[in-house]
Structure 1
Amino acid sequence: MLYKTRGIVLHSIPYNDKYSIIYMYTESFGRVAYLVARTRGKKSNLSRALFMPLSVLEMEVDHKHNRDLHRVRETKSCFPINELSSHPVKNVLALFLSEVLFRVVKETEPDARLFDFLYQSVQLLELSDKGLANFHLVFLLRLLHYLGIFPNSESIAQNSYFDMLNGVFVPEIPMHKHYLDKPESDAFATLLRMSYENMAYYHFSRHDRTQIIQRILEYYRLHLPEFPEIKSLAVMHTLFD
């Protein structure tokens, strides 16, 4: 049966000589895998250029609920992503964030709040010209809300330790190794107040930013046991000197 839905590209892998599998997070069906031809004529509306990481597409799809692979019949961009494809920093950010999403967004049920967050985040990344060095930090921390593992910000207090295992700020060192010391905890509490609107006002050294992203990914790994190493992280570390 044919349906219309919007979708965000997460990942693409070759299927055979003629087709690729495009993993997308869709508004109507949650995470879906689509079989898309790798080569098409010039007049085709399924150009491979449409399926770059974090592309936001309006699609007509052939969706059968008893199948693992589905077909895209027609598609077009919801809005241009010229910056994501050509701007060197935004291009790497899109690659990194789409890889994270591919690893953490597994649900095959739709979530309107999550889709709206992703849609608006991609729009902001395309349009933003300030605070890009912090965009991925805001994105990863805001995403925790929709994964159900956002830290308990009500527990923030001076001279506390952030217990990463339990997602809470505590007055004493936890009885395990997964915690932040007091300076790190203070910095993390500050990060939790960062948003897309104020991210341009936060400044970190390259060393501090590298430590921050490592700690955030460690938090992901503690709460999402199947969360792997992110391959594009090494490229991220070369940015924002």
Structure 2
Amino acid sequence: MLHKTKGIVLNYIKYKESSIIARVYTSEFGLQSYIINGVRSQRSKKGLALLQPLTLLDMVVYHKENKSDQLQRISEYKCAATFTSIPFEVKKSAMALFVTELLSKVLKEEDERGVVFEFLCHFVLELDQRKEGYESLHVYLLVHLTHFIGFGIHQKKELQQDNILQKVNTNFDLIYETILTMNACNLDEHKTIENKLRKDCLSYMINYYTHHIEGFNELKSLAILSQLFR
């Protein structure tokens, strides 16, 4: 049966000679893997341009529950929002890679997928549209995503009791205060933070995820992000 859904592209891998398997977070079905045939061929009208990290799609898909190979198929897809900066600015492209790698590790087919999708869609558009003050948006995402994956941050004591230790340039009270400030504000209210504090908050939140999610391992894109946001 065909279904209409919106999607956020996370990544893709090559499949056979001219096809790919794309991982897409959808508003209707959560995280899904789709076979897209012929998209890498010279005759393809769409190519891979619409399947770059964080691209927002309008999709018509075939969806079957409990598929043994967990691969679904797409009937139609088109761009739902035209980006003005993410594909063209190196820092934003690096942040997009970080975000898609993070989402690939933590998102599931959870019950709140519609709510999660709307939050992520808002985040992607905010990242693309901001001309400045976007440098710590990925830290904001890490903080707010905790509420959707089962261990939301609410109070300072929740951060303290986990006893997460790391080398920092700033004291832990400032890290806690910054994270809780991010936690309390809306995305359009969020202001970027200075470089050293941002790095410490990012490192802390990654350790926080490692502490709370079994099997949460290294984010390869973090090294690229660190080089660009010095």
* TM-score exceeds 0.5: yes
Within 5 Å, which residues of 2 pair with 1:3-18? Answer: 3-18=3-18
The aligned residue for residue 194 of structure 2 is 203
What TM-score do you get using the length of structure 2 for normalisation? 0.87
Indicate the residue corresponding to 2:220 in structure 1: 231
CA distance in 1 between partners of 2:110 and 2:14 (Å): 22
Where does structure 2 lack aligned partners over 5 or more consecutive residues?
A: none
State the partner residue of 1:178: 164
| 1:16 counterpart letter in structure 2 | K
Which of residues 122, 125, 128 in structure 2 aligns to 1:123? 125
Write the letter of the residue equivalent to 2:164. Answer: H
Q: Deviations over 1:132-185 (max 9, x none)?
A: 2111111111111111212232748xxxx7122xxxxxxxxxxxx535799213
Change in 2 beyond 3 A, CA 1:202/1:108: closer
Q: 1:211 to 1:202 in 2, by over 3 A?
A: closer
The alignment of Structure 1 onto Structure 2 pairs a total of residues equal to 222
Contact 1:162 1:185 in 2 (8 A): no
Structure 2 residue 192 is the aligned partner of structure 1 residue 192: no
Write the distance in 2 (CA, Å) between the matches of 1:150 and 1:90: 26
1:50-129 maps to which residues of 2 (within 5 A)? 50-67=50-67, 68-107=70-109, 111-129=113-131
SS in 2 for 1:76: strand
| Structure 1 unpaired stretches of 5+ | 165-176
Q: Return the index of the structure with the highest Cα Rg.
A: 1
TM-score with structure 1 length normalisation?
0.83
Could you report, residue by residue, the CA deviation over 1:69-94 in whole angstroms, capped at 9, with x for unpaired residues? 11111111111023111111111111
- 1:171 maps to what in 2? none
How far is the alpha carbon of 1:115 from its aligned partner?
0.6
Structure 2 letter corresponding to 1:39: R
Segments ≥4 residues shifted beyond 4 Å: 40-43, 179-182
Residue number in structure 2 paired with 1:134: 136
- Counterpart residue number, 1:33: 33
Please give the alpha-carbon distance, in whole angstroms, between the structure 2 residues aligned to 1:154 and 1:211: 16
Residues 29 and 110 in structure 1, CA contact (< 8 A), matched pair in contact too = no
What is the SS of the residue equivalent to 2:82? coil
**1:189-233 deviations in whole A, cap 9, x for unaligned?**
22221243343353233xx43332121101001111121100000
Identity across matched positions, percent: 29
Q: What is the letter of the counterpart of residue 200 of structure 1?
A: K
Q: CA separation in 2, counterparts of 1:110 and 1:150?
A: 14
